[in-house]
Amino acid sequence: MQSSPLVRAASLKNYPEIAKAHGLDPLRMMVDAGLSPSVLDEPDLMIPADRVGQLLEASAQRCGDESFGLRMAETRYLSNLGPVGLVIRDQPTLRDSLSVLVRYHAALNGSLAVMIEESAGVVVIREEVLVGSQVPVRQATELAIGVLLRLMRQVLGAEWNPRRVCFMHEAPRDTRAHLRVFGPCVEFKHDFNGIVCSRGELDTVNPSADPVMARYAIRLLESAMPQPSTSMLGDVRRTVLLLLPSGRCSIEQVANHLGVVCRTVQRRLSEQGLSFSEVVNAQRLELATRYVTQSDRPLTEVAALLGFAASSGFSRWYQGQFGCSPSQSRAQARG
């Protein structure tokens, strides 16, 4: 059984205030989710990401506010990200700031996968959350995208809006909070979670950059980063999560994305008793549960999101893993 990725306890910054404003008892909610309230006093403590995800989902359900995670993102600052936030804040351009986020995001949140893709002057910044097949990720995803937007507005200005903000889940019943935070460009039921902007916006100069402070913060980060043999599995899992929908999730593509050769990936996974195919299959299992039983996406779309070229291949794989067809699983979950 895979252990849950870890996230800084600072991810719960302002949770008590938002919960109280919605009539919830934040400490009781945390205990019910398996989290000690004492972690609120230790922002750098690493805690299980799946329990944080459970807490956010339970809070949203209990108070009836589908934008609960987004409301937490509204009052976040780069300082809440610890040393990574300092490095991001003091980069010369937005592109450099986002590159720092991609490089060091695992030090903040081991459940978050980040990838930047550029094509024909358009930039897509994707973020996906990985917390296990039994934990819905709507609130954690909206919190992550909301924080990303605030990061970008630190350089581009508080009134800046991206071309598009995309979510894979369905629209909430009340979209007012989303329109207030993201502007009219927010879209739902997409095939990825992320923000779309122009290439030129990434090259915007950061007027508050302090390279001396950035170098100091990087030294702090590097001293605290895990060794390659222990971090490779998390890096591979997050990269597989991002590459699966493209249909190009090979070990060659993953190694290229991580800046290593295939043999390095194979060796590091082998040290932990795993093969690349086992990691891919584990990610497919998690996503299959999320998309088949927790959403109403057409199964042909689910097959593509899991990297299958044809629905028939997806159905055979699903039958072999779960002992029933995808449609039967969906019917049982709804029944």
Chunked into runs of 10 residues, the chain (335 residues) has average pLDDT values of 76 95 96 94 89 96 96 88 83 92 82 90 92 84 95 92 95 95 93 94 89 78 58 85 84 87 92 92 89 87 90 93 92 84
**CA dist., res. 240 & res. 2, Å (int):** 15
**CA dist., res. 6 & res. 158, Å (int):** 30
Q: Which CATH architecture has domain 6-202?
A: Alpha-Beta Complex (3.90)
Q: Is 158 helix (H, G, I), strand (E, B) or coil?
A: coil
Fold annotation for 228-334: Arc Repressor Mutant, subunit A (1.10.10)
Rounded (10°) angle between helices 262-271 and 251-258 = 90
CB contact set of 63 (below 8 Å; sequence gap of 6+): 19, 22, 23, 24
**Sheet bearing 122-129, strands edge to edge:** 112-119, 122-129, 194-198, 164-166, 186-187
pLDDT number for residue 226: 54
pTM above 0.85, yes or no: no
Asked if residue 57 lies in contact with residue 72, where contact means CB atoms within 8 angstroms, the answer is: no
Q: What are phi and psi of 48, to 5 degrees?
A: -65, 125
Q: Where are the domains of the chain?
A: 6-202, 228-334
